Amino acid sequence: MTKFLKLNRTGDKIPLVGFGTARITPEDTADIIYTAIKSGYRLIDAALSYGNEAQVGEGIKKAIDDGIVKREELFVISKLWNHFHSKDNVKSAFDVTLENFGLDYIDLYLIHFPFATEFVDPRSTKLTFFNDENKFALKRIPIHETWKAMENLVDLGLVRNIGLSNFNVQSILDLLTYARITPAILEIEFHPYLLQERLITWVKSQGIEVIAYASFGNTVFEEVPPTTAHLPNLLTHPTVTKIAQKHGRNNGQVLLTFATQQNIVVIPKSIQESRMKSNLDLFSYKLDADDIKELKALNANARFNDFFPNTYGFDLPIFE
């Protein structure tokens, strides 16, 4: 049993718990997506840059064909990668995504990052931050051009909702001055080490709902920014363990409930069926005010998905 948030403009219902698809090998993806849907997930967070969209589509198709779910019960998300921000490329990159999924429309399309890089073939098997010469090359394309092309996808009936990922208040403020269609969602890194309370409160006051990624904080990152290297693993942090034991839950559930209880959507990924199920089972208990207070006290303004040479090979302070 999962809960929903209602999105602005369309009134579409987005589940508070969804399934992430980053870092799942293409060979395993179709089966994992099928199992996730069978386990009860109805929200799938995908992206062209994850390199497994076609296999996500396969898993979805099998689940629909087997009668586990109807298309309209699913909430499918994808994201426009940085190489495709120009008005001529948004639709053609999106067409690859739609073909990958084998669907007529998707529920939400996000601009993945607030910067544009040089064009690379959207059918390239491995999209990265770099161009064909393996260089990080920014391109002079304003976000208003990209947003207009995103709005066009809504007009064409190909996308029900559009939104943003990894944008900050300054860039959203600017976008709201010209947007014909207000973003429905902002997808950002969020966990007790990175609360961003002012950002989230403001974004929600604009009618924009929030999806959290990296709910387990530094647990999933092989390389972390130097400024965060001192922080202990969030998933096994004694405070998280203490709260989990108090409620008879596991640590992952505590970190996910920390978000959902604040009406923030979570999208954990797991290749293990037992974890898929426990990550979805968040509404049969409640964190109390003291738990939330203790978890919030862990805030270190620590962002792990940031562009440092030791993490992504280039330095770009987009969140400053």
**Under the criterion CB under 6 A, does residue 117 sit at the interface with ligand NAP?**
no
Alpha-carbon distance of 55 to 45, in angstroms, equals: 13
* Secondary structure element (H or E) that encloses residue 196, with its range: none
Q: How far is the CB of 51 from ligand NAP (least distance, A)?
A: 12
**Under the criterion CB under 6 A, does residue 194 sit at the interface with ligand NAP?**
no
Are 110 and 154 within 8 A, CB to CB?
no
Are 167 and 268 within 8 A, CB to CB?
no
Around Cβ 264, how many Cβ atoms within 10 Å? 20
Alpha-carbon distance of 147 to 144, in angstroms, equals: 5
Among 43, 48, 267, 298, binds ligand NAP (CB under 6 A): 267
Q: How are strands ordered across the β-sheet holding 75-80?
A: 19-20, 43-45, 75-80, 106-111, 159-165, 185-189, 209-213, 265-266
**Under the criterion CB under 6 A, does residue 163 sit at the interface with ligand NAP?**
no
Nearest to 267 by CA among 162, 179, 187: 187
Among 60, 220, 259, 282, binds ligand NAP (CB under 6 A): 220
Among 235, 243, 254, 298, binds ligand NAP (CB under 6 A): 235
The amino acid that residue 194 corresponds to is L
**Under the criterion CB under 6 A, does residue 49 sit at the interface with ligand NAP?**
no
**Under the criterion CB under 6 A, does residue 218 sit at the interface with ligand NAP?**
no
**Under the criterion CB under 6 A, does residue 21 sit at the interface with ligand NAP?**
yes
Nearer to ligand NAP, 113 or 119 (CB): 113
Q: For 288, which DSSP code?
A: -
Nearer to ligand NAP, 83 or 269 (CB): 269
Nearer to ligand NAP, 25 or 155 (CB): 25
Strand partners, 109: 78, 162
| Binders of ligand NAP in range 60-99 (CB under 6 A) | none
Are 49 and 19 within 8 A, CB to CB?
no
What are residue 10's phi and psi, to 5 degrees?
Answer: -85, -25
| Binders of ligand NAP in range 241-260 (CB under 6 A) | 250, 252
Alpha-carbon distance of 43 to 80, in angstroms, equals: 18
Among 9, 61, 139, 275, binds ligand NAP (CB under 6 A): 275
Nearer to ligand NAP, 178 or 265 (CB): 265
Selected catalytic residue, list 34, 50, 193, 213: 50
Clarify whether 50 is annotated catalytic.
Answer: yes
Active site residues: 50
Could you list the residues that contact ligand NAP (CB under 6 A)?
Answer: 20-23, 45, 112, 165-166, 187, 213-216, 219-220, 235, 250, 252, 267-272, 275, 278-279, 305
